[in-house]
Structure 1
């Protein structure tokens, strides 16, 4: 089943959700600010996306700029930072079986549904 990691307050995330709704396929919505993924789950998401953890970070967030920017962090430390501050996680993330994309731009979602 398709899964979307969604933030209802984010325009791009709402656009991603609309694409899934229009696809008429079954999907699960994970409001990741309410249901924070586990370290294992976030690590698996990064692996499915085939990116480094730093590439999943919203680097313009105030939390990042004030607490992490310019520091040398390991991949695990970056994942922990995202788990402690889930607003740092780029959104939306869509997973379909063994494929995943970040829905920015929204058209990326069409490649896996």
Structure 2
């Protein structure tokens, strides 16, 4: 089963859920805005994504521009920022076993669910 780290205010995230549903792919929704990830969960997701924390920060978000654009923080500090400001996390993130991906573009999601 695929786990989807989901932000309901994001049209791309809602679109991925619709795509999975239409293609009869079983999935579990994890609303990371309503239920923020723990530090350990965030680190686990980053490891499964094979990405560093800077790669999953949404730098176009207003909160990033207002509070963090001029900051130089350590990876640990950025993880805490993302936990406290989950709207800054790229989404959706799909997790299948020991691997994960940011669910864009849709072509990559198709490949991900087929492997």
User: TM-score, normalized by length of structure 2?
Assistant: 0.91
In the alignment of these two chains, the number of paired residues is: 113
The SS at the match of 2:70 is coil
What do the CA deviations read for 1:35-87 (whole angstroms, capped 9, x no partner)? Answer: 11111001111111111101111101111111111321111111100001111
Instruction: State the partner residue of 2:110.
Output: 110
Report the counterpart of residue 83 of structure 2 in structure 1. Answer: 83
Partner secondary structure for residue 9 of structure 2: coil
Alignment of 1:51-70 (within 5 A): 51-70=51-70
| 1:92 matched to 2:88 | no
2-structure distance, mates of 1:8, 1:71: 28
Unpaired segments ≥5 residues, structure 1: none
TM-score, with structure 1 as normaliser: 0.93
Shift in Å, 1:111? 2.2
Q: CA RMSD in A?
A: 1.1
Q: Segments of 4+ in structure 1 off by > 6 A? A: none
